């Protein structure tokens, strides 16, 4: 089922608040490609590029990030060029997502540098990326992929996969509301970004 974003009214400070927070694509190769695009970097700082079907998701070290269409959450936050975010933003974002998982009674932990695991199975990945176009500013974006309702077996897709995957639904034994989890994650990430900007 397609994400219902029109009714989401984000209570955020640094990230674009209200009902105009999202740049939605039903299908796209990678939210990161849009988020690092110069046009969006200059016009849409603080907005969230999100999709229901990411066909070529990016992970760390040029690996792929797999997600199940209409089941998971894949999005990128446009950070602009005014702040030079570092690994600490990734670490604090991981901490925020672990806190959310714990709230659902799922014990999770960060596997450095940027993955979140439940036992020996990956449930989420964070990626801080930057691009410099010509002599212009250094643009940044924060990407999040988190398995919500998928039942994906990664070994069937990629025989070189280094980790098995799990999801909220696998751990809880039931599907959960993606929009609810999305709001929880975004509002915690917003506090993380604001804290770093204020330092």
Closest to 189 in 3D by CA, of 97, 85, 75: 97
pLDDT in tens, 54-79: 987 665 545 566 788 999 999 999 99
pLDDT bin (cut points 50, 70, 90) of residue 164 is confident
Angle at 29 (CA atoms; ends 14, 135), nearest 5 degrees: 60
What is the rounded distance in angstroms from the CA atom of residue 107 to the CA atom of residue 85? 28
Tell me which of 5-14, 100-109, 143-152 is least confident: 143-152
**Count of positions (residues) in the chain:** 199
Phi, psi at 30, each rounded to 5°: -155, 130
Q: Which fold has domain 22-198?
A: BirA Bifunctional Protein; domain 2 (3.30.930)
- The answer to whether 178 and 186 have CB atoms below 8 angstroms apart is no
pLDDT in tens, 76-128: 999 999 999 999 999 999 999 999 999 999 999 999 999 999 999 999 999 99
In this prediction, residue 58 carries a pLDDT of 60
Residue 104, SS3 per DSSP: coil
- The answer to whether 4 and 179 have CB atoms below 8 angstroms apart is yes
pTM for this predicted structure: 0.92
């Amino acid at each position: 089922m397609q994400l219902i974003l029109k009714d989401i009214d984000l209570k955020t400070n640094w990230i674009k608040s209200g009902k105009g927070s999202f740049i939605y694509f039903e299908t796209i190769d990678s939210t990161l490609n849009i988020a690092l695009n110069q046009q969006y970097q200059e016009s849409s700082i603080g907005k969230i590029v999100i999709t229901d079907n990411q066909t070529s998701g990016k992970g760390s070290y040029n690996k792929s990030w797999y997600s199940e269409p209409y089941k998971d959450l894949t999005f990128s936050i446009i950070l602009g060029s005014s702040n030079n975010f570092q690994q600490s933003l990734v670490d604090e974002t991981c901490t925020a997502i672990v806190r959310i998982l714990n709230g659902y009674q799922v014990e999770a932990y960060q596997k450095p540098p940027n993955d979140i695991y439940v036992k020996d199975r990956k449930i989420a990945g964070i990626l801080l990326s930057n691009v410099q176009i010509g002599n212009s500013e250094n643009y940044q974006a924060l990407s999040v992929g988190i398995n919500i309702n998928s039942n994906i077996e990664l070994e069937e897709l990629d025989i070189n996969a280094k980790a098995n995957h799990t999801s909220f639904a696998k751990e809880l034994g039931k599907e959960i509301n993606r929009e609810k989890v999305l709001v929880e994650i975004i509002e915690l990430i917003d506090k993380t970004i604001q804290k770093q900007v204020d330092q």
